[in-house]
């Protein structure tokens, strides 16, 4: 008898932000394969005897390769287990959930997608930055920082710089200077506000603010590292007024442009 795989979004970090359905899946699972950025508190909801499998990945180092993860999902389900693949954020937002679902489909393993709150929205919200705003942003885009080094994606920078109001960048800290350079070269104002939100939604969240032309210096000074969400656009100016979660502000936007 074949079990079932649930691709569950764990949310952006705060364990309270997992969905009710995601929590229910977690409580009923026989096997849980979880990622590095999943809050360990969530694993306390696993039932007694559930098998926990760490699949964590660090930049430039994979504890478990994606092909191995795919194999385990199918293997455990074929044994009749209820399997949860617990992923930070949302499974289908830069989480490789699509690949895992395809693998299940190829092996006739039933699967279900349980969406989660993605960091591009949640980290920004916890920093008082709405990704859309009636007068400041009518469109937003999610991109990955790895795109900065992708030759095939070069043509997209012009669209991002000129056709999108708010840009949310995942996994982009190590590519920050390249990202800002591409946007400026393709027409984005050097004075465009940008925020980096480190450990978004957690108690040690830190937010730093700058502009495309000076954010590199700000990040180096404040020693901001991964994991951090990058938000670019005029909505970043709202951080100072809507910053409900923390009091820390690094004011690097010129007053004349506010």
pLDDT tens column, 8-29: 999 999 999 999 999 999 999 9
d(CA 44, CA 39): 10
d(CA 132, CA 138): 6
Letter string b/e over residues 69-100, b meaning 16 or more CB atoms within 10 A of that residue's CB: bbebbbebbeeebbbbbbbbbbbbbbbbbeeb
pLDDT band at residue 128 using 50, 70 and 90 as cut-offs: very high
Q: Is the pLDDT of residue 251 over 60?
A: no
Sign of CA dihedral 144, 146, 151, 152: negative
Q: Is the pLDDT of residue 31 over 50?
A: yes
The pLDDT mean for the chain works out to: 92
pLDDT of res. 250: 45
Domains and CATH numbers, the chain: 4-114 (3.40.1010.10), 119-257 (3.30.950.10)
- Could you list the active site residues? 35, 57, 171
pLDDT band at residue 155 using 50, 70 and 90 as cut-offs: confident
pLDDT band at residue 60 using 50, 70 and 90 as cut-offs: low
Q: Is the pLDDT of residue 62 over 60?
A: yes
pLDDT of res. 59: 61
**Proportion of the chain above pLDDT 70, given as a percent:** 91
pLDDT band at residue 1 using 50, 70 and 90 as cut-offs: confident
pLDDT band at residue 254 using 50, 70 and 90 as cut-offs: very low
* Higher per-residue confidence, 143 vs 252: 143
**Proportion of the chain above pLDDT 90, given as a percent:** 86
Q: How far is the CA of 238 from the CAs of 22, 123, 132, in angstroms?
A: 32, 14, 11
pLDDT band at residue 61 using 50, 70 and 90 as cut-offs: low
- Mean pLDDT for the stretch of residues 127-148: 93
Q: Is the pLDDT of residue 147 over 80?
A: no
Structure tokens, 15? 């364990």
- Mean pLDDT for the stretch of residues 84-100: 97
Q: Is the pLDDT of residue 148 over 80?
A: no
Helix H or strand E segment including 144: strand 140-144
d(CA 191, CA 215): 10
Cβ atoms of residues 180 and 159 within 8 Å: no
């Amino acid at each position: 008898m074949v079990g079932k795989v649930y691709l569950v979004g764990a949310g952006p970090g705060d364990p309270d932000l997992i969905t009710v359905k995601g929590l229910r899946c977690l409580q009923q699972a026989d096997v849980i394969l979880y990622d590095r950025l999943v809050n360990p508190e969530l694993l306390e909801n696993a039932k007694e005897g559930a098998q926990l499998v760490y699949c964590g990945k660090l930049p430039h180092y994979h504890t478990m390769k994606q092909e191995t993860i795919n194999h385990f999902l199918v293997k455990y389900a074929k044994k009749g287990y209820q399997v949860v693949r617990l992923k930070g954020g949302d499974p289908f937002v830069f989480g490789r959930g699509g690949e895992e679902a395809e693998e299940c489909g190829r092996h006739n393993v039933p699967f279900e997608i349980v969406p989660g709150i993605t960091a591009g929205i949640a980290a920004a919200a916890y920093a008082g930055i709405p990704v859309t705003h009636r007068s400041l942003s009518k469109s937003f885009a999610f991109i990955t920082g790895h795109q900065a080094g992708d030759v095939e994606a070069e043509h997209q920078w012009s669209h991002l710089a000129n056709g999108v109001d708010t840009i949310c960048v995942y996994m982009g800290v190590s590519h920050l200077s390249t990202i800002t350079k591409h946007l400026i070269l393709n027409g984005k104002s050097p004075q465009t506000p940008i925020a980096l939100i480190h450990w978004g939604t957690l108690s040690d969240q830190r937010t730093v603010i700058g502009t495309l032309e000076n954010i590199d210096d700000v990040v180096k000074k404040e020693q901001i590292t991964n994991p951090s969400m990058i938000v670019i656009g005029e909505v970043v100016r709202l951080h100072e007024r809507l910053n409900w979660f923390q009091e820390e502000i690094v004011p690097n936007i010129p007053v004349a442009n506010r």
